[in-house]
Amino acid sequence: MKLQVVWFKRDLRWEDHAPLAAAVATGQPVVALLLHEPSLWAQPVYSNRHACFEYESAAELAGTRPLLGELDIRAVNAPEGRETSNDAAEGRETSNDAAAGRGTSNDAAAGRNHLPFFYVAAEATEAFEALEAFAGIPIGAVYSHQEIGIETSFARDRHMKKWFKKRGITWHESPYGSVRRGLKRRDDWNAHWNEVMFKEPLVQADWALGQAWKPSPPWIDWAQAHQVERPAREAGVAQTGGAAWGHRYLRSFVAGGRGRGYMAHISKPEGARNHCSRLSPYLAWGNLSLKQVVRNLAETRSGELLAMRDARAFASRLRWREHFIQKFESEPRMEFEHVNRGYNQQTFSTSSAHLNAWKLGQTGVPMVDACMRSLNETGYLNFRMRAMLVSFGCHALNLNWKDLSAHLAQQFLDFEPGIHYPQLQMQAAVTGVNTVRIYNPVKQAEEQDPHGTFIERWVSELAPLPMPFRAAPWMLTEIDCVGYGFQFGTDYPAPLVDLTTALREARIRLYGAKKRPEVRAEKNRILEMHVAPQRKKRG
C-alpha cells in the first residue's frame, strides 16, 4: 500500500481535475496537498489579494471534500451524525477536522472517509520531506497539472523532479488544458484545441473507487504547525475565491443575462465590470477549468440565451486564453526579456518619478489615472483599459514594460503569467509582429466614458469639471478655473508629458524600430514558433 499524493497548484477545484481522478482511481490511500510556498509568494508579482483568493479557494476545498469509497446503504439511512451537504457547501466544519480529514463516525463505519486535504505554508521539499517522514506508509506517486508559471515555480518543478526521482516516487503531470509542454510550432494548434475542449470528456473522478488516507498524528501536528494564516481581505476587491463563486459568475453571465451586451460594453471600463464574464480569476486560479466554461457556453448557446455576436466574441476570447499561455510555455524567457531580441538595443526612460506617478494614478491624465486607481482598488480592469495603461506607460512615458510588469501583476486579481507577459509585450510593441497600438487616453475617455462618470468616480478631484475638461483639464483657461473653483496643478497634477508631442514621438520611435533588420529577422522566427500556419499566410 502506497500513498498517492494529489499536489494542487493553480487548479483549485474538485471537478474536471485529471490528476485527482488518476490518484483516486488507483484505489490506494489518497491525500490532497496545497502548498503556500514562501519562496514563490515572495516574488514581486504576487500580492495580498492573490493570497486571499487562494485562501478562500482552499477554504472551499476543505469544506467540500468528497467522500471516498463505496456508499453503504446502512450509512445513508443512519439517523444522526451525518454531515449534511449544506454544511459542506457552507464550509461549516472546523479547520482542524477539515485538515485532518476526519469524516463523521457513520461514514467511517461505512468505510467512507473524506479525502484529506492539507493547505500548508511550506516549501515543496520541506512539505514532501515531512510527509515522507510522518506518513507511516511510503509515498508511491504524486499527481499534478503541469504548471505554466514563472521561473520560480518552474525551477521548483525541475528541483522536485529530481527529488522525486531520487526517492523512486513517480510524478504524473497532466497537461494544463490544451497547452503542450515545449511546443515549438503551431501546425495543428486549432485542431488540438478543439479536440481537447470538445472531444475529450470532462474528467470526473470516481469517488467510489478511492480510499482516503488516514493522516498520522505526527503529520497532523506538522500540518497544524504550518497552517496558512488568513490574509486580510481588501474591501475594494469584490470577487471571492472558490468554484461555487466561479459557477455563479458563469451562470449569471451565460444564462442569467449579464452577457447580453458583452460586445457593446467590452471596451468600457464601467460597463465591462458587469457585462464581461469576470471569469478570469476563477480560470487563473483553476476554480474552473477552461473546458468547463467552453462546454457550458456550447450547451447554452443552443438555448439562445446570449446573442450570437456576444457568444462568438466570448468563445474566441476563451480560445485566445490558452493561445497566449502556449506562447509563454514555448518561450518562458519572455518573463525577463523582449520576445523579439531585435529590441535589445532599444533605450527607455528610467524616470522613477514617472513610474511612481503611473503606479499611483497621479500622471495628470485623467483616464489613465482613473483606470489605475480603479485597478489598484478593485483588482479588475477590462482589456482595452489594461492595454491603454501599458500604452501610456510604454509609449507616452517611454518606460520599459519590465518596469511596469510587477505592479500590474500584483494588482490584477487574475494574474496569469501565460497571459500577462505576452500581452504586456504585445501592448508595449516589442514583439515586432503585432500592429503597434498607441492609445490616446483623451480619445478613449470620449469614446468609452463619454459622460465622464468613470473618471468622476475614481478621480473625484475632477468632479467639479464637466466634460470635455474632466478628461483633459489642461484645456481649461485661467478664467474657466476660476468659474469651476478648480486649481489646475494643485487640485490635480499637470500632465507628466505633453500628450500630443509624446504620442507623436512614440509613433516615430516605434514604427522606426519595427523596420530595423534585427527586429524583422526576429519577427520571422516568432511567427514560425507562435503563429498557426493559416494565420501566418493571412498576416
Ligand X SMILES: Cc1cc2nc3c(=O)[nH]c(=O)nc-3n(C[C@H](O)[C@H](O)[C@H](O)COP(=O)(O)OP(=O)(O)OC[C@H]3O[C@@H](n4cnc5c(N)ncnc54)[C@H](O)[C@@H]3O)c2cc1C
Could you list the residues that contact ligand X (CB under 6 A)? 276-280, 283-284, 317-318, 320-321, 324, 382-383, 386-387, 390, 412, 414-416, 419-420, 423-424, 427
Please report how close the Cβ of residue 28 comes to ligand X at its closest, in angstroms: 35
What is the rounded CA–CA span in Å between residue 22 and residue 210?
Answer: 10
Please report how close the Cβ of residue 22 comes to ligand X at its closest, in angstroms: 26
Is the bond preceding 468 in cis, omega lying within 30 degrees of 0?
Answer: yes
Please report how close the Cβ of residue 83 comes to ligand X at its closest, in angstroms: 34
What is the rounded CA–CA span in Å between residue 394 and residue 428?
Answer: 6
Residue with cell 470532462: 202
Dihedral, 129, 133, 136, 141 alpha carbons, nearest 10: 20
Q: CB-wise, 358 or 486, nearer to ligand X? A: 358
Please report how close the Cβ of residue 322 comes to ligand X at its closest, in angstroms: 8
Please report how close the Cβ of residue 525 comes to ligand X at its closest, in angstroms: 22
Q: CB-wise, 33 or 385, nearer to ligand X? A: 385
Q: CB-wise, 169 or 288, nearer to ligand X? A: 288
Q: CB-wise, 20 or 276, nearer to ligand X? A: 276
What is the rounded CA–CA span in Å between residue 454 and residue 83?
Answer: 47
Q: CB-wise, 107 or 329, nearer to ligand X? A: 329
Please report how close the Cβ of residue 228 comes to ligand X at its closest, in angstroms: 23
Q: CB-wise, 119 or 176, nearer to ligand X? A: 176
Q: CB-wise, 320 or 336, nearer to ligand X? A: 320
Q: CB-wise, 278 or 291, nearer to ligand X? A: 278
What is the bridge-based pairing of β-strands 170-174 and 3-8?
unpaired
What is the rounded CA–CA span in Å between residue 277 and residue 251?
Answer: 9
Please report how close the Cβ of residue 491 comes to ligand X at its closest, in angstroms: 30
What is the rounded CA–CA span in Å between residue 56 and residue 27?
Answer: 29
What is the rounded CA–CA span in Å between residue 175 and residue 17?
Answer: 11
What is the rounded CA–CA span in Å between residue 451 and residue 213?
Answer: 60
What is the rounded CA–CA span in Å between residue 251 and residue 268?
Answer: 22
What is the rounded CA–CA span in Å between residue 426 and residue 436?
Answer: 8
What is the rounded CA–CA span in Å between residue 223 and residue 227?
Answer: 6
What is the rounded CA–CA span in Å between residue 489 and residue 473?
Answer: 10
What is the rounded CA–CA span in Å between residue 4 and residue 487?
Answer: 67
Please report how close the Cβ of residue 67 comes to ligand X at its closest, in angstroms: 32
Sign of CA dihedral 328, 332, 335, 341: negative
